[in-house]
Amino acid sequence: MPVSDADMVQAWTHVLGLSNLSHGQVVTLLTTENSNAQTLRTAKIAAANMGAIVNRLDLSPVNAELAHSRDSLAYLGSTPLSGNPAAMAALKKSDLVLDLMTLLFSPEQAEILESGTKILLAVEPPEVLVRLLPSAGDKRLCAEAAALLKGAREMRVTSAAGTDLHLPIGEFPVIEEYGYVDRPGRWDHWPSGFTFTFPNERQASGRVVLDRGDILLPMKSYIDTPIEMTVKNGYVTAIQGDIDAALLNDYMSAFDDPEAYAVSHVGWGLQKKARWSTLGLYDREATIGMDARAFAGNFLFSMGPNNEGGGSRTTACHIDIPMRNCDVALDGKPVVRQGRVL
């Protein structure tokens, strides 16, 4: 069902309250041509009602000649902020940036956060935002998972389909995504609900077997034919299988970048309100698939950059793969069993 403006204003007010927005703070809405009009309109009303000074910074999209789809995560090259010092200055002088454009995995985002500005990404359709409204309970769940990750030195992922992946961890920070930004310099994504880290550089090894029903993003498709990946020294060295493997190989090879095959962030979903099945209900260009990334118990395997976690690896190609029915263990202690959070 469509969402009313009243419901969206209420949702924004809830999220901005969790994000500790106060009277007189500066909120800048970062937009581009395909930013959702209702999300933008209601964010302005909610922030103004809370006494904020509200600005809008609208920038033209880039990378059209390089990207393979309109999905904002399908190409992570330069952003509209690249080489734009005036726009950067405005964002760094803001208390809160509502990113309705997508700066993820960009050096500009890191620079803005270093200034103390908070950034909240919100690019899913309004009905997804309202249904997956964050709560303080989401933060508590993410914190519990983060505490386990911070104390561990190896994540091991196995499945009945044949996955047996060894992921030494500890070199990179643990990141919690719970849907709001409640301290200076924090980034988050509404909606979300998962915790992850990045494996130690060049140390991931083993085998990943994607089974029927696992999801490829940004393709936003359920896998119908199994895909087997070989992981050596932190990189996927082979992608084998039938038509789904061929499609993935073709997509990734178009970037002509060996760093696209590096193992990126790894973690598991914690959001009970997110559903594995939801992706099948949306047009592919209507969503970026946050239900798929966040549904409770999925193991989220990814390939591509690690600069979001403080690493030096950048690449325009980023693949997220929510996997079902996996076992996840930290230093031998199970935290997810057959796709259920313990």
- Domain coordinates in residue numbering, the chain: 5-131, 136-341
Rg of the chain, C-alpha, whole Å: 19
The structure tokens listed for 180 are 């709001």
The reported pLDDT for the residue numbered 271 is: 98
Which of 264, 273, 222 has the alpha carbon at shortest distance from 243? 222
**Cis peptide bond upstream of 85, omega within 30:** no
pLDDT per residue over 232-264, tens digit each? Answer: 999 999 999 999 999 999 999 999 999 999 999
**Cis peptide bond upstream of 334, omega within 30:** no
**Count of CB atoms within 10 A of residue 256's CB?**
9
Q: How many CA atoms lie within 13 A of 263 on its CB side?
A: 32
Region class of 220: left (phi > 0), else alpha (psi between -120 and 50), else beta: left
CA distance 217 to 39: 23
Residue 157 CA: distances (Å) to CA of 82, 263, 316? 38, 14, 26
Quickly state the pLDDT bin for 304 (edges 50, 70, 90): very high
Residue 163 identity: T
CA distance 75 to 13: 31
CA distance 339 to 327: 7
CA distance 327 to 40: 40
Given the candidates 3.40.50.300, 3.40.50.2300, 3.50.50.60, 3.40.640.10, the CATH classification of the domain at 5-131 is 3.40.50.2300
The reported pLDDT for the residue numbered 310 is: 87
pLDDT per residue over 38-70, tens digit each? Answer: 999 999 999 999 999 999 999 998 877 777 777
